[in-house]
Structures are given as structure tokens and as C-alpha cells.
Amino acid sequence: MRSVPRQVRVVEVGPRDGLQNEPAVLPLDQKVEFVRRLAACGLPQIEAGAFVREDRVPQMAGTDALFRRLAAAIGGGRGQAADAGAPVLSALVPNRHGMERALAAGAGEVAVFTAASDAFARHNINMTVVESLVRFRDVLAMAAEHGLRVRAYVSTAWWCPYTGRVAPDAVRRVAAALTEMGCYEIALSDTTGAATPAEVADLVERVAGDISVSRVAVHLHDTRGTALANVLAALEAGVATVDAAAGGLGGCPYAPGASGNLATEDLLYMLHGMGVKTGVDLDALAAASCWLAGAIGRTLPGRYLSAGPVVPAEAGQSTDAKV
């Protein structure tokens, strides 16, 4: 096996990318409690919500109030994280209006979202990839003016549910354009969960040739059970930032058949077993996911949650959960 980074930054996307796919809307108090529990696990960054139209994504209603309450409860808002040691609380913003809301609510960081496939972009955001990039210029300019970092997602980086295999050069062009605009990190996203390890390694290496692997993250769905294998391929290619969702929450309403994100617990169990440091407490994270499962009234799909620790804690053995 090729070498992997000694430390990996885990970006928790459950409160946004996970909850937005749930059929029911989680009450604000429960959203605050979920993020508070996640923050106590040692996660460096949590994507807590999205400043989008509530009629289109009702699960993200109340994001403005959520960020204001979280800033008071745990910190992590703009200008707070460095002083308080709280996780960075980030939010997805689709346009200038979303960015204005994010600034007013005190988000610590924002993310923009586009695709490598025009067909998917039209279904998801009702515009072409090029049109989305033009729209983001205002967002990036506002972020720079206020000293806010911007992350970018490139969905359908490997496969599009409408047109099939996506050309690597199309992904490279989008990633390069976003970087040139000022995005500090590009999360290559396996929206349909169809990528395989060889495809992941190949694309990471191609994109890293243009923008440096230090700017590349991966955002993987586990639809076909390949997410962890794909993470390993990305790590061996030099990636050191991985997105995951507590309990395996998520999916994509615009990608038929796509199931949840890679479960954060599954990712941590693999990384810690390899001696890779994350700074995240696996036991605490699993407890937060179990709490959420009770709140939404269903079992979460994460494999670690189903199986539990190798040695149960009640047996008096340490689980070595935090690495």
C-alpha cells in the first residue's frame, strides 16, 4: 500500500447535506442540539446549514436563526473559531442573496456548489455549469471583501445520473476555474456513488496537477459500497480532507438511486485503525448519531453504528476511539 497522510481533516456535512435529504423537517431546537453534540466530538469543521430558498429545500428552513444560536452556544462563527477553539461552522450559499444572509448570520465559512455535468447542473440548479461559475463571482467577491473563506463542491465528478461517465478534463476545467476565482478547496463529489478506486486516484492526480493536491478534498457517497475504498485511493493520491455525514445521512434528490454519504463513524474507524490522526472522538460521534436517529425516528445506515465497537465499552476495555 502506498503511503497516506498522517493526519486527515474530516468535514462533517450531516447537518446540511444529510438533513436536507430527510423527508421531515427537524425542529430548530433539535438542529442546534445535533450540531452542539457534533461540535463536542472534536470535529474541525461542520457544515451546519444552507442559505437557500426554503420553499425548495424546506429542511434548511431557519438556517439564519440556527447560526445565530450556534454562535452563542458553541462559537465557530465568523471571527470566533480561532479564539474559542470551536469547529468552523460553514454553510452552503447558492448566490449573492444567500451570501448576504450568511454574512448577516455570522457563518464562519461558506461553500458554493456546481457540477462537472451540464445535464446534472440543469436538473439541480437550473443553469449550465458555465452560468453557475459566472454567478459565483459575486459570491467570491463578497467573501473576499469580508475575509471569509470559500470552499467549492464539484458534483458528478465521476458519473452523471443522466449522461453517464464524466470526462476528467471537464472536472479539471471546473476545479481550475473555481480555484482561480478564490476557492481555497475543491471537494470532488461522487454524487451517484458510482466511482471506483482507480477512477478516484486517476481524477485526483489529474486535478492535483492543475491546482495542487493540498486544495483537493473528496465527498463520497456509499451507494455501491465503495466509499471507504475510494477514500483510501484518494489518500494514497495525497488527499488529506474527507467529507462525511454522521450515521451515513444523506443522498441526492437529483441523482436517482443515490444513497447516503459516507458515514463519519465508518471513516473514523478505518482511519484510526490505520494510525491516521483526526482529532475526533469516535465514541462521542457515534453517540451523537444515535441521538439523531432517535430524533428523526429511524435507523441510520452507517455500518459502524450497526455493528458497534469491536470490544463493547461495558466489557471494561478501551475502544481507543480518539486518535
DSSP E strands, 19-169: 45-50, 88-92, 109-115, 150-155, 159-160, 164-165
Is 252 an active-site residue?
Answer: yes
CA of residue 1 relative to chain centroid, distance: 26
C-alpha cell at 6: 498522517
Distance of alpha carbon 288 from alpha carbon 34, whole angstroms? 7
C-alpha cell at 243: 467529507
- Of 41, 160, 183, 252, the active-site residue reads 252
Distance of alpha carbon 256 from alpha carbon 161, whole angstroms? 7
Residue 220: name the closest of 100, 203, 208 by CA: 203
Residue 249: name the closest of 235, 266, 234 by CA: 266
- Any bridge partners for residue 18, and if so which? none
C-alpha cell at 96: 449573492
Q: Return the sign of the alpha-carbon dihedral for residues 37, 82, 48, 166.
A: negative
- Any bridge partners for residue 261, and if so which? 221
Residue 112: name the closest of 139, 131, 88 by CA: 139
Q: Return the sign of the alpha-carbon dihedral for residues 21, 23, 28, 30.
A: negative
Per-position DSSP letters for 219-240, written without gaps between them? EEB-TTS-HHHHHHHHHHTT--
Rounded to the nearest 5 degrees, what angle is found at the Cα of 138, between the Cα atoms of 76 and 69? 25
Q: Active-site residues: which are they?
A: 252
